Amino acid sequence: MFEAAELGNSTDKATYKRESIKVREALLAAQHQLATANFSVVIVIGGVEGAGKPETMGLLLEWMDPRGIQTHALQDSTDEERERPPYWRFWRLLPPHGRIGVFAGSWYTDPIVGRALKNTNGAQFDQQLQDIVSFETMLSRENVLVFKLWLHMPKRDVKVRLEKLAATKKTRWRVSKTDWKFFGKYDAFREVSEHALGKTSTANAPWVIVEATDWRYRALTVGRALVDALQKRLAEAQKPKPQREKPPLPRPDKINIIRKLDMTQKLSDEKYEKKLLKYSGKFNKLTRAMYEKKRSLVIVFEGPDAAGKGGAIRRLTGAMDPRNYQVISIAAPTDEERVRPYLWRFWRSLPRAGRVGIFDRSWYGRVLVERIEGFCAPEAWQRAFTEINSFEDQISQYGVGVVKFWLTITSDEQLRRFKDRETTPYKQYKLTEEDWRNRARWDAYEAAACDMIERTSTEECPWVLVEANDKNWARIKVLKTVCETVERLLDR
Give the number of other CB atoms < 10 A from CB of residue 337: 15
CB of 447 to its own copies, least distance (A): 28
Kindly state the smallest distance separating residue 339's Cβ from its own copies, in Å: 9
Closest distance of CB 367 from its own copies, Å: 22
Contacting residues toward its own copies, per CB under 8 A: 25, 28-29, 32, 54, 57-58, 61-62, 65-71, 73, 78-80, 102, 104, 310, 313-314, 317-318, 321-323, 326-327, 329, 334-336, 360, 426, 429
The SS3 of residue 72 is: strand
Q: What are phi and psi of 211, to 5 degrees?
A: -75, 120
Least distance (Å) from its own copies to the CB of residue 415? Answer: 23
User: Are residues 327 and 313 in contact, defined by beta-carbon separation less than 8 angstroms?
Assistant: yes
Q: Which residues pair with 404 in a beta bridge?
A: 300, 463
**CA separation (Å) from 456 to 348, 400, 451, 463?**
21, 17, 8, 8
At position 155, the amino acid (one-letter code) is K
DSSP symbols for 77-133? PPHHHHTS-TTHHHHTTPPPTT-EEEEES-TTHHHHHHHHTTSS-HHHHHHHHHHHH
Nearest distance from C-beta of residue 310 to its own copies, angstroms: 7
Q: How far is the CB of 341 from its own copies (least distance, A)?
A: 17
Query: Minimal distance in Å, beta carbon 429 to its own copies?
Result: 5
Among positive and negative, which fits the CA dihedral 121, 124, 130, 133?
negative
Q: How far is CA 84 from the centre of its chain?
A: 12
Strands laid side by side in the 144-152 sheet: 69-73, 100-104, 40-47, 144-152, 207-211
**Cβ 92 to its own copies shortest distance, Å:** 11
Closer residue to its own copies (CB): 70 or 386: 70
Residue closer to its own copies (CB basis): 317 or 390: 317
Whether 319 contacts 280, CB under 8 Å: yes
Query: Closest Cα partner for 344 from 387, 377, 303?
Result: 387
Is 480 in contact with 279 (CB distance < 8 Å)? Answer: yes
Nearest Cα to Cα of residue 360 among 280, 303, 281: 303
Residue number, 7 or 28, with CB nearest to its own copies: 28
Nearer of residues 83 and 446 to its own copies, judged by Cβ? 83
**Which residue, 58 or 378, has its beta carbon nearer to its own copies?**
58
Q: How far apart are CA 421 and CA 429, in angstroms?
A: 8
Q: Which is nearer to its own copies, 124 or 329 (CB)?
A: 329
Q: Are 453 and 364 in contact (CB under 8 A)?
A: no
Minimum distance of its own copies from residue 471's CB (angstroms): 17
- 159 vs 352, beta carbon nearer its own copies: 352
**Strand 69-73 vs strand 207-211: parallel, antiparallel, or unpaired?**
unpaired
- Please compute Rg for the chain using Cα positions: 27
Toward its own copies, which CB reaches closer, 224 or 361? 361
Q: Which is nearer to its own copies, 221 or 324 (CB)?
A: 324
Strand (E) or helix (H) holding 366: none
Q: Taking the complex as a whole, how short is the minimal distance between the CB of residue 368 and its own copies, in angstroms? A: 18
Least distance from its own copies to the Cβ atom of residue 70, Å: 6
Using the minimum distance from each CB to its own copies, give the nearer residue, 99 or 417.
Answer: 99
Cβ proximity to its own copies, 317 vs 386, nearer residue: 317
- In whole angstroms, give the CA distance from residue 85 to residue 347: 10
Query: Closest Cα partner for 380 from 363, 361, 366?
Result: 366
Candidates 43, 51, 200, 178; CA nearest to 112 is 200
